[in-house]
Amino acid sequence: MHADDFKSPSVTRLREDLALALRAASHHGLAEGVCNHFSVELPDGSGRFLLNPRGLLWSEVQADDVVMVDVHGERLAGRHSVEPTAMFIHAAIHRLCGKAVVLHSHMPYSTALTLTEDGMLDSCLSQNAMRFHGRVALDAEYNGLALDNAEGERIARAMRGADVAFLANHGVVVCGERIDYAYDDLYVSGCRSHPVIRATIDR
pLDDT, tens digit, 9 for 90 and up, residues 75-113: 999 999 998 888 889 999 999 999 999 999 998 888 888
| pLDDT surpassing 80 at residue 193 | no
Q: Map out the domains of the chain as residue ranges.
A: 2-202
Lowest mean pLDDT among 8-12, 78-82, 128-132, 174-178: 128-132
Local structure of residue 191 (DSSP, 8 states): -
Three-state DSSP state, 33: coil
Hey, which CATH number is domain 2-202, 3.80.30.20, 2.40.50.140, 3.40.225.10, 3.40.630.30? 3.40.225.10
pLDDT digits (tens, 9 = 90+) for 139-170: 999 988 888 889 999 999 999 999 999 999 99
Residue 143, pLDDT score: 87
10 Å CB burial of residue 157 (0-12, 13-18, 19+) is middle
Instruction: Let me know: does 4 contact 162? Beta carbons within 8 Å.
Output: no
Compute the distance between CA of residue 25 and CA of residue 59 in angstroms, rounded to an integer. Answer: 8
pLDDT digits (tens, 9 = 90+) for 109-143: 888 888 888 888 888 777 778 888 999 999 999 98
CB within 8 Å of 120: residues ≥ 6 apart: 113, 114, 136, 138, 166
What's the half-sphere exposure (Cβ side, CA atoms, 13 Å) at 195? 8
Of the candidates 146, 25, 11, the residue with the CA atom closest to the CA atom of residue 86 = 146
Residue 113, pLDDT score: 84
Instruction: Let me know: does 183 contact 21? Beta carbons within 8 Å.
Output: yes
Compute the distance between CA of residue 3 and CA of residue 95 in angstroms, rounded to an integer. Answer: 22
Local structure of residue 30 (DSSP, 8 states): -
pTM higher than 0.85, yes or no? yes
Q: How confident is the model at residue 185 (pLDDT cuts 50, 70, 90)?
A: very high
